[in-house]
């Protein structure tokens, strides 16, 4: 019985990763990094954050740019950290969606030097289905964190029927196995990275790192490598990537229990930062790593109005690259904003999540992530 069980687990582990070469199709880097992204251009009506995701003209405005290429040649995507926001108005930030769409048989790398962190800050690198109402068509959360939590969280979100199987070989810790966006308060099937270098100040101090996401017929796999541990096969400017050389994934969702061909449609890449909202603004989650709110103060009144709170609320990306087993798995089309709602509304009164929303947030899951992060820090 033991031998049979061991053999079965070994077979499952071997089938988790596609041992195929992915060839470079798209490279977002250098001076042209922002050329093929669309800006949201509206207030955050998706996760109830206290920000306006600016349009391209505002985002690149010379007086106070929120997206630009720095002297090192890296792309910076940031929250406005210079403007004092009047009460009942929102702070400017950025949400970018790729004009390029990826299908099955693709691999995406995010090479980052810095990720957003700080009290009230909620940043993410993720993918969403093209044209579907969430969670139909699927979502892949590659990097996501709030406030001063200590580790990154990954997740898949789908309609009912997709789960993460038992016995998966991965380095991360599974919190929730059901990927159903309508269960577990929308948490999705979540995996927490054990590495404290995967988020916040430790990530930056380590020189950043790289996330590698495989979106294949055999399943979804996410690897995270801190800067010092990035494999030589990913360093420099590789024209192809063979995932069999990458080792054990940080998070793995094989097709045996969640068939991507069934639960996922063509995906867009998304980079965004919001403030407070449905996860970072929850009092118990915020206070788990940040000073306790006093009196009638809220996440908004305590943090959003003061620009000094957002010195670390930015992405610095060396590159985003898309690889594919077949170039036809990547397509480019004109992109339009997810919402046509006008920006500039007050600090309250935004709508609930709709198309293109990210609903991986709930108090229970956030507490579990923060508790695990604290345990890791205590090792």
Q: Which long-range contacts (CB under 8 A, 24 or more apart) does 176-184 make?
A: 176/365, 179/155, 179/253, 179/258, 179/263, 180/135, 181/134, 181/135, 181/139, 181/157, 181/359, 182/135, 184/362, 184/364, 184/365
Q: In what order do the strands lie in the sheet with 51-53?
A: 42-43, 51-53, 91-93
Distance CA 253, CA 189 (A): 9
Taking a C-beta distance cutoff of 8 angstroms, is the pair 273, 78 a contact?
A: yes
Distance CA 224, CA 171 (A): 10
Residue 241 CA: distances (Å) to CA of 24, 214, 219, 323: 8, 11, 17, 8
162 SS3 class? coil
Neighbours of 235 (CB within 10 A): 11
286 SS3 class? helix
Strand 51-53 versus strand 91-93 pairing type: parallel
DSSP strands (E only) in 161-246: 173-174, 189-192, 209-216, 219-226, 240-242
Active-site residue flag, 144: yes
Catalytic one of 89, 139, 287, 316: 139
Distance CA 145, CA 153 (A): 7
Distance CA 64, CA 66 (A): 7
The two tokens of residue 364 are 């229970």
Catalytic one of 89, 144, 214, 316: 144
Range 9-29 burial, b when 16+ CB lie within 10 A, else e: eeebbeebbbebebebbbebb
The two tokens of residue 350 are 């935004």
The two tokens of residue 19 are 């041992």
Question: Would you name the residues annotated as active-site residues?
Answer: 139, 144
């Amino acid at each position: 019985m033991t031998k049979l069980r061991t053999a079965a687990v070994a077979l499952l582990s071997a089938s988790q990763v596609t041992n195929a070469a992915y060839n470079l199709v798209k490279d977002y880097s250098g001076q042209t990094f922002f050329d093929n992204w669309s800006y949201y251009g509206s207030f955050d009506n998706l996760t109830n954050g206290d920000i306006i995701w600016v349009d391209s003209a505002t985002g690149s405005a010379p007086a106070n740019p929120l997206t630009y290429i720095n002297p090192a040649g890296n792309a910076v995507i940031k929250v406005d950290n210079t403007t004092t926001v009047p009460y009942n108005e929102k702070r400017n930030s950025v949400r970018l969606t790729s004009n390029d769409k990826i299908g099955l048989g693709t691999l995406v790398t995010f090479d980052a030097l810095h990720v957003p962190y700080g009290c009230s800050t909620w940043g993410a690198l993720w993918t969403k289905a093209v044209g579907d109402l969430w969670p139909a068509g699927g979502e892949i959360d590659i990097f996501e964190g709030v406030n001063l939590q200590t580790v990154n969280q990954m997740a898949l979100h789908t309609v009912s029927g997709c789960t993460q199987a038992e016995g998966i070989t991965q380095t991360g810790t599974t919190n929730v196995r059901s990927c159903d966006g309508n269960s577990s308060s929308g948490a999705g099937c979540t995996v927490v990275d054990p590495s404290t270098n995967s988020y916040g100040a430790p990530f930056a101090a380590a020189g950043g790192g790289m996330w590698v996401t495989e979106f294949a017929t055999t399943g979804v796999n996410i690897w995270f490598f801190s800067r010092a541990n990035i494999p030589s096969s990913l360093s420099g400017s590789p024209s192809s990537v063979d995932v069999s050389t990458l080792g054990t994934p940080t998070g793995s969702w094989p097709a045996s229990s969640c068939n991507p061909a069934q639960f996922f449609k063509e995906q867009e890449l998304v980079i965004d930062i919001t403030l407070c909202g449905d996860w970072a603004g929850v009092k118990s989650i915020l206070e788990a790593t940040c000073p306790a709110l006093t009196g009638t103060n809220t996440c908004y009144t305590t943090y959003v109005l003061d620009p000094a709170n957002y010195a670390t609320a930015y992405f610095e990306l060396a590159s985003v690259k898309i690889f594919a087993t077949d170039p036809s798995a990547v397509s480019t089309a004109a992109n339009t904003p997810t919402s046509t709602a006008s920006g500039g509304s007050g600090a309250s009164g935004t709508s609930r999540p709709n198309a293109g929303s990210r609903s991986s947030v709930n108090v229970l899951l956030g507490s579990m992530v923060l508790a695990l992060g604290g345990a890791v820090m205590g090792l």
